[in-house]
Amino acid sequence: MMQARVAFGGAIHAAVPHGEHALRLADGRVVAQDAVTWLAPFEVGTIIALGLNYADHAKELSFGAQEEPLAFLKGPGSIVGHRSQTRRPNGVKYMHYECELAVVIGRSAHRVTRATAMGHVAGYCIANDYAIRDYLENYYRPNLRVKNRDGGTVLGPWLVDAADVPDVRDLGLRTYVNGELRQQGNTRDLIFDIPSLIEYLSGFMTLDTGDVILTGTPEGVSNVDAGDEVACEIDGLGRLVNTLVSDTVFDR
């Protein structure tokens, strides 16, 4: 099943696809997709992001193999939904997208093994986790201005049940900027796969329902500017669209 959360008519609704351009709300009403405000498709808990988790991307940035995952946390204010706007600050030289598979925890996980880890996954969605290279201290210590920006992480459009994803180990990822293909990858190239990430993280912290793991991005990141439309696709999970806007839109 594919599920969304949207704001419409002064309330928040669960929704499912209805044809190509409409949604069916939980109360039975059918509305156009462009008539709603898209939210993250689930109630987001702790956001755990992975850096340099694709070998090609690590090589692209001149980094060697990691001994353990590079993980960091993000606050809830960083999350926006499908068809949202993300601010590109004036004066920065290099801001780039990061198409990522997001893993959503469905039940509490504490010190679970790799063998049982996937039983704690509710489903998957797409993430676009923007970064501003100008502010980066180094790739092993992503600072707050790079990775915890208000509205800098787009999540959605759908939460797809884990049972409806036949093989999460072989999903193609693609990013388009204004319709031009800029990034391609596949989850088979993850350095640390989903079971190993859940085992590692749950070994020192409890993962709860609604927590989300952003599993990293493949090679092919490039600069984007105000006015650009960025679309991230992952096989079976849909198409996540977002627009970059300048400071003036946010009265800055």
Pinpoint the residues of the chain covered by CATH 3.90.850.10: 42-250
Q: Give residue 148's pLDDT band: very low, low, confident or very high (50, 70, 90).
A: confident
Q: Per 3-state DSSP, what percentage of the chain is helix, strand, and coil (rounded to 5)?
A: 15, 40, 40
What Rg, from alpha-carbon coordinates, does the chain have? 17
Q: Give residue 142's pLDDT band: very low, low, confident or very high (50, 70, 90).
A: low
Q: With 80 as the cut, is the pLDDT of residue 56 above it?
A: no
Q: Who contacts 113 (Cβ-Cβ below 8 Å, separation ≥6)?
A: 199
Residue 179, sorted as left (phi over 0), alpha (psi -120 to 50) or beta, turns out to be left
Q: 42-250: which CATH number, 1.10.10.60, 3.30.420.140, 3.90.850.10, 1.10.10.10?
A: 3.90.850.10
Q: 1-39: which CATH number, 3.90.1150.10, 3.40.50.1820, 3.40.50.300, 2.30.30.370?
A: 2.30.30.370
Pinpoint the residues of the chain covered by CATH 2.30.30.370: 1-39
Q: Which of 26-35, 51-60, 159-168, 232-241 has the lowest mean pLDDT?
A: 51-60
Q: With 90 as the cut, is the pLDDT of residue 115 above it?
A: yes
pLDDT (0 to 100) of residue 160? 98
pTM for this model (two decimals): 0.94
Q: With 60 as the cut, is the pLDDT of residue 60 above it?
A: no
Q: List pLDDT tens digits, range 217-251.
A: 999 999 999 999 999 999 999 999 999 999 888 87
Rounded to an integer, the average pLDDT of 147-154 is 93
Average model confidence (pLDDT) across the chain: 93
Q: How far is CA 177 from CA 34, 83, 84, 194, 222, in A?
A: 20, 14, 15, 28, 9
Q: What percent of the chain has pLDDT over 90?
A: 84
Q: Give residue 139's pLDDT band: very low, low, confident or very high (50, 70, 90).
A: low
* Residue keyed to tokens 């707050």: 144
pLDDT (0 to 100) of residue 68? 86
Q: What percent of the chain has pLDDT over 70?
A: 94
